[in-house]
Structure 1
């Protein structure tokens, strides 16, 4: 997971500002290899000051083989921000490698000590061709620079970084769980109100929090974890806007969806609710967002924390 491919994650986000910088000395410098930079060092009073020109023999920055834990954002020549780690809620870790070209991002990392903030201009053509090994996307102009804003939090060995990474991921999971529990209560109130407004009788609730209404009972075997099930479905928001339907999906020849139940192949709400049904059942599932896609945005039609309605038909249950 400590890969330099983490440099490029095409996520639109807000600009990473360098807080409390001393604007009286805001000059850019350029190395002999062509890397344009300005580096700010945090002083004891908490303010930042431009370190000025970094001598070629300066070895105080990160070294090859070490890992830099940082917050980073970068933007193209049109000032469109393409990535901001702060929007992800946690810093990123990048191992320092041999520079892939003169004026590279690897060289930028080697100029930073823990606590430093830096602004670097890196040639986009060379970055994609020699560091990423990928074609340059159309929203980046050939011959232009990408501007990187980096705040170095730590410089560590790979072993130390791996320990920190595991701890950060554990903390992120715990925080996400707390947010999900709060959101589940919010969604539950909305679903109860929806049931009243839509006059959906006989709604039942699974232990995890999915509401389901059996509109036509099935007579076949009860679905259970490990079974191969086949389902036709129509997905809508609570406002009635249809998002997709297996009965109208030319990519799948309008065929029903088949999967193994209870194996995490689908959202949690499906794994839970479909186990309440028998083969042949038709039902409406109301899935709170933490049991669907949670905080993930899945395009303009499905923002974060979307409650989803599925009208399904359990076509077949194949016992395993």
Structure 2
């Protein structure tokens, strides 16, 4: 939950209304592949497209090496939305390299049926899909709704690698500008929310220049961590209404989470807040949304623009790992952007 990560294909899509031309509902008759994928595919005019497997496979081979840009939405058997790329990607498409279909019956085969401008609905057995993407059965929070999952897709474009890279850079720059503009507007709102919470709960702490508020509840006796050192932290994360969304006790097998400090491996509020503590310290961090998950939120548990509370304990501080031979540090620690 805390770590930053790029949206990866295909596993990250599994953890999670598109304007789909002609297919904004999963109802109606589905065709079916030999591997068991149920599907409906529509061309750019909204007309249902008949797919012949042999022809589709030959057409797909011509597109190998290209990049498909698409919007996706996952829903449970009861139509609950698990993941929406338009929301998570701020309206920009997910880009996926088109490679040989190594596993039939999963996401790779489904995407291989699509052409530029297509919209589609795919229906999968949840366990089968999960096994092909993660190697494990579908998690209980998905199966409690039924053992099927529906994927809605809109293909924005199919591009060569150079074009895709250029367009992705433009999208990232535009997304960053949007986020910064929104964050500036959200700052005073978060500040008001934090101050009201502090007063209501009689917290006595300090605020940093970034807007992070922290209260040391138990001082430590060790040194403060420095950039690159590996810290071990016990934590419990809640919304300001008290709802818990994550903890090391539940989400990390009861063990402290470990990460290098100050290199973007965690949300900015953690990089800043944990660095303020001495080894052995316990503290409460109130993190404004701009230093957490911002306007995108995180999954179903953390809404957009949420101020977060973390009760943390800095258990240990270790030396930075030695660089591997031939592996130099990238500028800024090589940390990926995004959540």
TM-score, normalised via structure 1 length = 0.63
Does residue 171 (structure 1) correspond to residue 174 (structure 2)? The answer is: yes
Change (3 A) 1:225 1:68: same
- The Cα shift of 1:183 comes to 2.2
Please, which runs of 5 or more residues in structure 2 have no aligned partner? 1-5, 321-339
- The Cα shift of 1:286 comes to 4.2
- The Cα shift of 1:69 comes to 0.6
- The Cα shift of 1:161 comes to 1.9
SS in 1 for 2:96: strand
Aligned to 1:115: 117
SS in 2 for 1:251: coil
Aligned to 1:70: 70
Aligned to 2:156: 153
Does residue 49 (structure 1) correspond to residue 47 (structure 2)? The answer is: yes
**Matched ranges for 1:281-320 at <5 A:** 286-294=286-294, 295-297=296-298, 300=301, 304-308=304-308
CA contact (8 A) 2:72 2:85 kept: yes
SS in 1 for 2:192: helix
**Matched ranges for 1:122-137 at <5 A:** 127=129, 131-132=132-133, 134-137=135-138
Equivalenced residue count is 301
CA contact (8 A) 1:6 1:94 kept: no
- The Cα shift of 1:73 comes to 2.4
Aligned to 2:100: 98
Q: Distance in 2 between matches of 1:133 and 1:311?
A: 31
Q: Which has the bigger relative contact order, CA under 8 A and spacing at least 6?
A: 2
Q: Between 153-162 and 60-69, report the one with greater CA deviation.
A: 60-69
RMSD of aligned alpha carbons = 5.3
- The Cα shift of 1:155 comes to 0.6
- The Cα shift of 1:103 comes to 6.3
Q: Distance in 2 between matches of 1:49 and 1:118?
A: 11
Q: Distance in 2 between matches of 1:230 and 1:145?
A: 39
Larger Rg: 1
Change (3 A) 1:162 1:82: same
Listed one character per residue, the Cα deviations across residues 262-319 of structure 1 (whole Å, up to 9, x for unaligned) are 555665445546777899999875432323454544875x655443456789999999
Aligned to 1:5: 10
Listed one character per residue, the Cα deviations across residues 130-153 of structure 1 (whole Å, up to 9, x for unaligned) are x53623315459xx7654322111
Q: Distance in 2 between matches of 1:217 and 1:33?
A: 59
Q: Between 207-216 and 82-91, report the one with greater CA deviation.
A: 207-216
Change (3 A) 1:65 1:188: same
Q: Distance in 2 between matches of 1:242 and 1:27?
A: 41
- The Cα shift of 1:126 comes to 5.9
Please, which runs of 5 or more residues in structure 1 have no aligned partner? none
Q: Distance in 2 between matches of 1:104 and 1:318?
A: 42
TM-score, normalised via structure 2 length = 0.60
Q: Distance in 2 between matches of 1:72 and 1:260?
A: 33
Change (3 A) 1:42 1:205: same
Aligned to 2:254: 251
Change (3 A) 1:53 1:305: closer
Change (3 A) 1:27 1:290: same
